[in-house]
Amino acid sequence: MSKKNILTGIKPTGTPHIGNYLGAIKPALKDMHNSDNNYKLFVADYHAHTTVKDAKLFQEYVYEIAATWLACGLDPDKVTFYAQVDVPELFELTWLLSCHTPKGDLNRAHAYKALVQENIDKGNKDPDHGVNMGLFTYPLLMAADILLFDTNLVPVGKDQIQHVEIARSIASRINALYKTEVLVEPESLVVDEVAVVPGLDGRKMSKSYDNTIPLFCSEKRLKKLVNRITSDSSAADAPKDPDSSLVFKYYQLFASKDESKAFREELMKGISWGVAKAQLFEKINDEIKGPREIYNNLMENKEQIDKLLQAGAIKARAVAVENMKRIRKQLLGY
């Protein structure tokens, strides 16, 4: 079987939390490192500019996301790891793709449609209020991200499937028009959320809800956040119901089956929430402390992150320049 080109992007829009770690980073790394395929992972910094409009904050997010993946074990020798900003060919391709995209396809993109609907619901006179062209053409830059590298498979969450479909339909339209395979038609590889990690308030953990446990917060902060998890007011030695407890849910996410079973039994026998939370803290911290040290180290030596991203960009551009030459020749004749 020939090797597949697999590519995905991560948008730097906030501090990564344990939901991102368990639901996305950990499973993706396992997959990448166990695979013989050509993996590319990039920081979708230009996509983040549709919403993040503060350069200092922007830089912070980019370094945080890059350092997080590296600290969690991303091996830059196995995965081409780069930032969008270092691949200018993306913009040439975006333009060419835009000339083959009916505007209606972008009108129908979920993210844009949701914003329009919000304006209508709020009684705004302009349905496009607050929509910048970056948001509107977001799927085109994403299509360029994918198509520039002859990508076969794009691992994405359910919310991004439509964007991959848009890329696929642009590729197929161009191929049909030029009667040759100018662009590889990509497919999405839908990654089911391994488990939805609940936030401190019981809803889904998300930066938008302000209910997160940041993945690499200090040990002290982690302890504080764990202690803040809501628990009932039963007596210290009263039996606790593991299945209705957030403490147990978090514990399970980090522990082996046997460890979870033992913890369940302890709770049912009756230990205080204080003791249970101390055990939970240890469990999370055991897994995180090694990567946290690497993360802090990288964040204090950002030039190391720059260097790794630059090395990745050299590899990515070698492909991008060649492919762009080929596509330009096929579409424009020069």
Residue 200's binding partner, choosing from ligand ADP, ligand TRP, none, with beta-carbon cut-off 5 to 8 A by kind? none
d(CA 99, CA 78): 35
208 binding ligand ADP? (CB under 6 A)? yes
Query: Which residue, 19 or 312, has its beta carbon nearer to ligand ADP?
Result: 19
29 binding ligand TRP? (CB under 6 A)? no
Residues in contact with ligand ADP, counted by CB under 6 A, come to a total of 14
Cα Rg of the chain (Å, integer): 23
* Interface of this chain with ligand ADP, residues 157 to 196, rule: CB under 6 A: 157, 193, 196
The per-residue b/e assignment along 27-62, b for 16 or more CB within 10 angstroms, e otherwise, is: bbbeebeeeeebbbbbbbbbbbbbebeeeeebebbb
* Burial of 298: CB neighbours in 10 Å, binned 0-12, 13-18, 19+: buried
Residue 44's binding partner, choosing from ligand TRP, ligand ADP, none, with beta-carbon cut-off 5 to 8 A by kind? ligand TRP
Q: For residue 229, which of 175, 279, 301 has the smallest C-alpha distance?
A: 279
9 binding ligand TRP? (CB under 6 A)? yes
**What's 62-112 look like in SS3?**
HHHHHHHHHHCCCCCCCEEEEEHHHCCHHHHHHHHHHCCCCHHHHHCCHHH
72 binding ligand TRP? (CB under 6 A)? no
Q: Please state the closest distance from residue 95 (CB atom) to ligand TRP, in A.
A: 17
Q: How many Cβ atoms are within 10 Å of 266's Cβ, its own excluded?
A: 15
115 binding ligand TRP? (CB under 6 A)? no
49 binding ligand TRP? (CB under 6 A)? no
Among 5, 6, 8, 41, binds ligand TRP (CB under 6 A): 8
Among 11, 100, 207, 302, binds ligand TRP (CB under 6 A): 11
Query: Which residues would be at the binding site for ligand ADP (CB under 6 A)?
Result: 19-20, 22-24, 157, 193, 196-197, 204-208
